[in-house]
Amino acid sequence: MTVIARIGLDCALPINTADRVQLGHGSGGRMSASLINDVFMRELDNPALAQMGDGAVLSAGSAELVVSTDSFVVSPLEFPGGDIGSLAVHGTLNDVAMMGATPVCLTAAFVLEEGLSMELLERIVASMATAARTAHVPIVAGDTKVVERGKADGLYVATTGVGVVDPRCRPGPRGAQTGDAVIVSGAIGRHGMAIMSAREGLAFDTTITSDSACLVPLVERLKTSGARLHVMRDPTRGGVASALNEIAQASNVGIELDELSLPVPGNVRAACEVLGLDPMYVANEGVLLVMVPRSDADTALAALRSHPLGRDATVIGRVLRDPSGIVAIRTGLGGTRIVDLLPGSQLPRIC
Amino acid sequence: MTVIARIGLDCALPINTADRVQLGHGSGGRMSASLINDVFMRELDNPALAQMGDGAVLSAGSAELVVSTDSFVVSPLEFPGGDIGSLAVHGTLNDVAMMGATPVCLTAAFVLEEGLSMELLERIVASMATAARTAHVPIVAGDTKVVERGKADGLYVATTGVGVVDPRCRPGPRGAQTGDAVIVSGAIGRHGMAIMSAREGLAFDTTITSDSACLVPLVERLKTSGARLHVMRDPTRGGVASALNEIAQASNVGIELDELSLPVPGNVRAACEVLGLDPMYVANEGVLLVMVPRSDADTALAALRSHPLGRDATVIGRVLRDPSGIVAIRTGLGGTRIVDLLPGSQLPRIC
């Protein structure tokens, strides 16, 4: 198995001084981080937002809650393995679950484009409803706005999830510790390549389907397994590489991966080679990364593998003391390469 | 003072069978109601969503919470008296406050258009931050996506608010009772006409400024006044007429307004006449309607008038047993006209 670990390039553009929003600002890479820090955090800074997790923890009356929000602009609206409706439910539920919380409700705010087929809208709303019902989480509030033809690519939707914090389980991006095992719950790269294949009209021997799925059941099994969950993260936009870079930086640790252990399906690898992409940076929507003490790795793996979504769970690397903030990959040939944040976008509009 | 009470027309278009989304579906009128009932409620129906209030009440652990969400697509992004950033904060805080709850946090999910001026984005985020700080409610989680040039009119933003329910105060659209006084907290029609004036480049003797404001302080004063708050509602999209129609239908009561008591500023009335609009249907973003027993009306008025935002609070009508579900207006000439829901849109993209 060959995995091309793309070495991050410093961006030649003067990102911080760019005076216009660029597509790369939505990539989940270095430009996104710059936009968030320079524009949003500077103005909106507060302790909850500064946690920089998948959501925020806050107190409301006597409860401790997690709140997370995401806007979805995926194109096309329907793709093999999912659509924007189920994706918006899965994506936000997963962000709440990654904080160790139990989701209790969702909201959905739509921007609809004039001329959108009512039949397509109905399919998407039905898919959203099915995804929410399957997860036993109701969509309790919503809103619709309509914009003129040409202004919204069919529809955009923003979902927000509220969950109740589990006091025994508070994983966060700062929780990685030296000696932790890095586990991934399943095959990587499927969502992004399903979108790209649909968009580019690529035909392979087998259709690549998105992995879009609700990770709440996997998190429940991990929580009841007794494994100490230091970090959980769903490697969505920016892929496994970006998620691990953020964790390495937030936790001040190094992360070392084994190239040969990365579960990249054959059709994903083939599609990536055709398009010149690296599966490490491709978005996933039904996979989680979890870091646990090495002695708990077997327990965590068993818990994940007991559910169909986690059947292919595997250890892909380990947390080291040094070099702090760096993700490196040991290649099949015995060398080591650094896996940096990409500056901009490999794949726009994938979620 | 002349107020043109536009009599609702049954829509000639077969709304229920229309196979494409139309701008009128975003109007807050009859077409919006049809879209929500026929597409969204049919699929997503659950007890919280079926409350059909400005938000949903739900239990999370030991707390009872209110959650509300809104997407904002106002054009232009900046207008006299506000911008999409402060509007998105005010709009969602107000929806939480209208449920009698105390807001504890907000989230914001952006869709940015490639090419958006970074300076404009910074101004909007700063305005959002100021509005949130002024209301003492942090923006705890956010998300940004970027879409291609031409796809989002600069930016759209969806805000979601979470609040803690006040068990002593549970106003809702079903709470209106025969004999209630209908009170409005200030001048109506300003927001919609500020947007339209800015968009159409209309010049009047005085600039119409949006009333966009956070209504939380007014609600706090109402709550501590001791007046029994049966219904609170901010008459945004669709204006006072649409909000009162929804309340009349939800509460199975009639509502009778006095034309001469409606507080319509002179410049709003003039702009409405030029554009052929009715101020009763024009959006407000810093005004609330409250219904209290007639014997509590003076208490509620005094509470509202003790705050600058409620200085012009006044009684505009009353709740009657019959005709159920109907809003009527007694004209200055002594007649009575029915004020129906409009089928579609007077003003697209005003929030």
The ipTM estimated for the assembled molecules is 0.89
Q: Return the residue in B46, B71, B134 with the most chain A beta carbons within 10 A, the one to mutate for interface testing.
A: B71
Whether residues A48 and B141 touch (CB distance < 8 A) is answered with yes
The confidence band for A99, taking pLDDT boundaries of 50, 70 and 90, is very high
The confidence band for A1, taking pLDDT boundaries of 50, 70 and 90, is very low
Predicted local confidence at residue A117, as pLDDT: 94
The confidence band for A346, taking pLDDT boundaries of 50, 70 and 90, is low
Alpha-carbon separation of residue B212 from A143, A222, B95, B217, B316 (angstroms): 19, 47, 13, 14, 21
Q: Give A143's contacts in chain B (Cβ within 8 Å).
A: 69-71, 158
The confidence band for B11, taking pLDDT boundaries of 50, 70 and 90, is very low
Q: Is the confidence at residue B2, as pLDDT, over 70?
A: no
What does the pLDDT average to over A92-117?
A: 95
- What is the residue-averaged pLDDT of chain A? 89
Residues A278-301 pLDDT 10s: 999 999 999 999 999 999 999 999
Residue A138 tokens, joined:
């109701």
Q: Is the confidence at residue B88, as pLDDT, over 50?
A: yes
Q: Is the confidence at residue B3, as pLDDT, over 90?
A: no
Distance separating alpha carbons of residues B227 and B218, to the nearest angstrom: 13
Task: Name the residue with higher pLDDT: B122 or A28.
Answer: B122
Predicted local confidence at residue A59, as pLDDT: 77
pTM, to two decimals: 0.90
Residues A171-184 pLDDT 10s: 988 999 999 999 99
- What is the residue-averaged pLDDT of chain B? 89
Residues B262-311 pLDDT 10s: 999 999 999 999 888 999 999 999 999 999 999 999 999 999 999 999 99
Residues B208-254 pLDDT 10s: 999 999 999 999 999 999 999 999 999 999 999 999 999 999 999 99
Q: Give B153's contacts in chain A (Cβ within 8 Å).
A: 147, 151
What phi and psi, each to the nearest 5 degrees, are found at residue A273? -65, -40
Q: Is the confidence at residue B4, as pLDDT, over 60?
A: no
Q: Is the confidence at residue A345, as pLDDT, over 80?
A: no
Q: What is the identity of the amino acid at B5?
A: A
Q: Give A138's contacts in chain B (Cβ within 8 Å).
A: 44, 46-49, 58
Nearest to A284 by CA among A70, A91, A74: A91
Residues A180-221 pLDDT 10s: 999 999 999 999 999 998 887 777 667 899 999 999 999 999
Pairing, β A139-147 against β A102-113 = parallel
Distance separating alpha carbons of residues B317 and A333, to the nearest angstrom: 82
Q: Is the confidence at residue A12, as pLDDT, over 90?
A: no
Predicted local confidence at residue A28, as pLDDT: 74
Q: Is the confidence at residue A255, as pLDDT, over 50?
A: yes
Predicted local confidence at residue A42, as pLDDT: 82
Buried b (16+ CB within 10 A) or exposed e, B195-221: bbbbbeeeeeeeebbbbbbbbbbbbeb
Predicted local confidence at residue A183, as pLDDT: 98
Residue from the list B23, B111, B119 with its beta carbon closest to the beta carbon of A71 = B111
Predicted local confidence at residue B50, as pLDDT: 73
Percent above pLDDT 70 for chain A: 92
Residue from the list A21, A26, A68 with its beta carbon closest to the beta carbon of B118 = A21
Predicted local confidence at residue A334, as pLDDT: 87
Residue from the list A44, A140, A151 with its beta carbon closest to the beta carbon of B46 = A140
Nearest CA distance, B211 vs chain A (angstrom):
21
Residues B149-190 pLDDT 10s: 999 989 999 999 999 988 888 898 899 999 999 999 999 999
Predicted local confidence at residue B54, as pLDDT: 63
**What is the H or E stretch that residue A67 is in?**
strand A63-72
Predicted local confidence at residue B7, as pLDDT: 29
Q: Is the confidence at residue B8, as pLDDT, over 60?
A: no
**Cβ–Cβ under 8 Å, residues A101 and A165:** yes
Question: Is the peptide bond between A343 and the residue preceding it cis, with omega within 30 degrees of 0?
Answer: no
